[in-house]
Amino acid sequence: MAQSHALVIRGGTVIDGTGGVPYAADVAIDNGVISAIGKNLGAGREEIDAKGLIVTPGFVDLHTHYDAQVTWTSSINPSTWNGVTTAMIGNCGVGFAPCKPEQRDMLVKLMEGVEDIPEVVLTEGLPWNWQTFADYMDALEARPYDLDVVTQVPHAAVRVYVMGQRGADREPATADDRAKMAELAAAGIRAGALGFSTSRTINHKTLDGRHIPTLKADEAELAEIAVAVAKTGSGWLQVISDFDEPEEELALLRRLVERSGRPMSITILQRDSKPEEWRRIMCGIADAQKAGLPMLGQVLTRPTGILLGFEISQNPFIGRPSWKAIEALPFAEKMQHLVQPEFRAKLIAETIEDEVLRRRLTKWDRIFPLGDPPEYEPSAETSVAARAAREGREPAEVVYDMLLEKGGKAILYRPLSNYTYGNLDTVHDMMRHPHTLIGLGDGGAHVGVLCDASAITYMLTHWTRDRTRGPKLDLPWVIKRLTADNAHAIGLNDRGVIRRGAKADINVIDYGRLRLHAPEVVYDLPSGGRRLIQKTDGYVATLVNGEVVTREGEATGALPGRLVRGPKGGPVLAQAAE
């Protein structure tokens, strides 16, 4: 053991990201890469005792919205608390570059509405030391991080940059508009972005109800951009769509892949109104794959849902007149009203006037206590409706009292998609499909209603260990899905496996102790902005570029992460999920 390494992870069980059988080995690291794997490796100047622990590649999160956060801080939590070592931003067509000074307010209002990041937070936090997308990349490159950041060019920002108010108003693009947008997208890829993203969903709108500028962008616009991206030789296309006309929409997206030859990732969700439509969409994606067209679905590891509480953005009483009277108050002052019996009776007796909001927030058989550790696969008998029936009370009375627990800080759970049948069997099928990727955690977004950056840890705890209501998944297969599969999909072949010569992004995990805590509210954004965070136990150490960035969930202060420009080659020969 005379040979010295910079760091040795000693005696752990290696789950290497290939899906293969775990094995016992030491892992040595030098100069930010894995230099040796085996038994009785030479001493390390630093060592981590991994006996009884698992050693995995760092997780690659394909779907985050830290586009603002990465401009004002080097700490990209809560993703770093969940073993993420590479995070992709610029999803769903929204972002802050390119942007002319006079267009900043439009992009801020769009991000505020689409991703639930308060305007005051963005206004105070964004430094705006860029105009072009290349400028934005330079600004990110100047800052160190506790993980690696990769970017995509957002369609909405490009459209507004070229077309101004016409773009925001969703007017059809002219031939000149299309040519300029295509060149901007290609320039972003040449500057190092790993993709181009767009949104075609009515759910993405500003707070005043204006739809995202890209909602009805026609095929000519999308095709010219896709072809321009293709000419750079790299970059994928990321799309979210409602699929209201599924055959027509899927055919359009397939034509974009045919014309460009670039891979495409499409958000896949189960909608209650069409609970089996996602399977038909995946059949279309499978048909494309058979034809040699690289189309993939992107799925979440649990329901897409929202959290409800008196301290956060939504609860079953917002929209009622008495709530409107207090909703702008600080939480402590709000609670002074909420605990008063007279106020309680008045608020409960009122109704939500907005029908869509009422369906979302008062569907009592789909509202559940969240708990600690949180339960994301709740059974019907734990719902507000079931409890109200058992107690012989009105559901609104029951939910009010539940929300008053923990000094008014109690949080309830409202699954919205992926939970039509009251269990996660559909999500199991989505994740097992050979042409899906694991993503959609939305880290950095929807900060007042959810914290799904933890969905990565949930895949480990729930799906490989704790699930009781259906089949589980094999741990090495799950690790592969979170590491090599995702890295390979976006062209980062230098990471995602424990292999000699690979980038030393690594998690050391106490698998038996791994757990999620309940979400909690903190006020640590610029201007004292509020957000939901979620802590974890069991991540003994997370390494980025061979340096330990967290120990037992606490930051070490090391910031070896950087902006990553363009695809990366390396020793990794990643394989598709089986």
Tokens encoding 351: 């109704």
Residue of 36, 37, 85 whose CA lies nearest to 64: 85
User: Could you read off the pLDDT of 88-140 as tens digits, one per residue?
Assistant: 999 999 999 999 999 999 999 999 999 889 999 999 999 999 999 999 999 99
User: Could you read off the pLDDT of 300-338 as tens digits, one per residue?
Assistant: 999 999 999 999 999 999 999 999 999 999 999 999 999
Phi, psi (deg, nearest 5) at residue 3: -60, 140
The answer, yes or no, to whether residue 572 has pLDDT greater than 50, is no
Report DSSP state, residue 239: E
Tokens encoding 191: 């500057």
DSSP-derived 3-state class of residue 86: strand
Q: What is the pLDDT of residue 3?
A: 75
CB of 74 within 8 A of CB of 144? yes
DSSP-derived 3-state class of residue 555: strand
Give the domain ranges of the chain: 60-303+420-449, 306-416
- Angle (CA) 503 59 558, round 5°: 65
The answer, yes or no, to whether residue 577 has pLDDT greater than 90, is no
Q: Which residues contact 233 (CB under 8 A, 6 or more apart)?
A: none
The answer, yes or no, to whether residue 576 has pLDDT greater than 90, is no
Q: Which residues contact 333 (CB under 8 A, 6 or more apart)?
A: 326
Phi, psi (deg, nearest 5) at residue 40: 55, 45
Q: What is the pLDDT of residue 105?
A: 96
Report DSSP state, residue 464: I
CB of 64 within 8 A of CB of 442? yes
For residues 541-559, give the mean pLDDT.
98
| Spatial separation of the C-alpha atoms in residues 536 and 514, rounded to whole Å | 7
Amino acid letter, 34: I
β-sheet bridge partners, residue 418: none
| Spatial separation of the C-alpha atoms in residues 343 and 159, rounded to whole Å | 47
Half-sphere exposure (Cβ direction) of 6: Cα atoms closer than 13 Å = 13
Residue of 152, 237, 151, 149 whose CA lies nearest to 200: 237
| Spatial separation of the C-alpha atoms in residues 240 and 548, rounded to whole Å | 35
Q: What is the pLDDT of residue 2?
A: 60
Burial of 390 (0-12, 13-18, 19+ CB in 10 A): exposed
| Spatial separation of the C-alpha atoms in residues 44 and 4, rounded to whole Å | 5
Mean pLDDT of the chain: 96
CB of 368 within 8 A of CB of 382? yes
- Angle (CA) 408 413 417, round 5°: 155
| Spatial separation of the C-alpha atoms in residues 252 and 217, rounded to whole Å | 12
Element (H, E) at 400: helix 395-408
| Spatial separation of the C-alpha atoms in residues 488 and 499, rounded to whole Å | 15
| Spatial separation of the C-alpha atoms in residues 43 and 4, rounded to whole Å | 5
Element (H, E) at 438: strand 436-438
Q: What is the pLDDT of residue 116?
A: 87
Residue of 58, 3, 119, 117 whose CA lies nearest to 506: 58
| 74-to-29, 148, 274, 285, 575 alpha-carbon distances in Å | 24, 10, 42, 38, 32
The answer, yes or no, to whether residue 575 has pLDDT greater than 60, is no
| 19-to-15, 40, 354, 498 alpha-carbon distances in Å | 8, 24, 49, 11
DSSP 22-69: -EEEEEEEETTEEEEEESSPPPEEEEEE-TT-EEEEPEEES-B-TTTH
DSSP-derived 3-state class of residue 140: helix
| Spatial separation of the C-alpha atoms in residues 450 and 519, rounded to whole Å | 8
For residues 401-424, give the mean pLDDT.
98
The answer, yes or no, to whether residue 553 has pLDDT greater than 90, is yes
DSSP-derived 3-state class of residue 523: strand
Q: What is the pLDDT of residue 190?
A: 98
Which residues of 155-292 form beta strands (DSSP E)? 195-200, 236-241, 264-267
User: Could you read off the pLDDT of 166-189 as tens digits, one per residue?
Assistant: 999 999 999 999 999 999 999 999
Q: What is the pLDDT of residue 570?
A: 78
One of 3.30.360.10, 1.10.3720.10, 3.40.140.10, 3.20.20.140 is the CATH number of 60-303+420-449, namely 3.20.20.140
Bond preceding residue 373 cis, omega within 30 of 0: yes
Tokens encoding 365: 């058989």
User: Could you read off the pLDDT of 255-264 as tens digits, one per residue?
Assistant: 999 999 999 9
The share of the chain scoring above pLDDT 70, in percent, equals 98
Query: Which position has the token pair 């930010």?
Result: 32
Strand 515-516 versus strand 506-509 pairing type: unpaired
Backbone dihedral region for residue 354 (phi beyond 0: left; psi -120 to 50: alpha; all else: beta):
beta
| Spatial separation of the C-alpha atoms in residues 208 and 528, rounded to whole Å | 23
DSSP 141-192: HTS-BSSEEE--EEHHHHHHHHHTHHHHTTPPPPHHHHHHHHHHHHHHHHTT
Confidence tier at 578 by pLDDT (50, 70, 90): very low
The answer, yes or no, to whether residue 390 has pLDDT greater than 80, is yes
Amino acid letter, 182: A
Most distant CA atoms of the chain, gap in Å: 76
Strand 295-299 versus strand 84-88 pairing type: unpaired
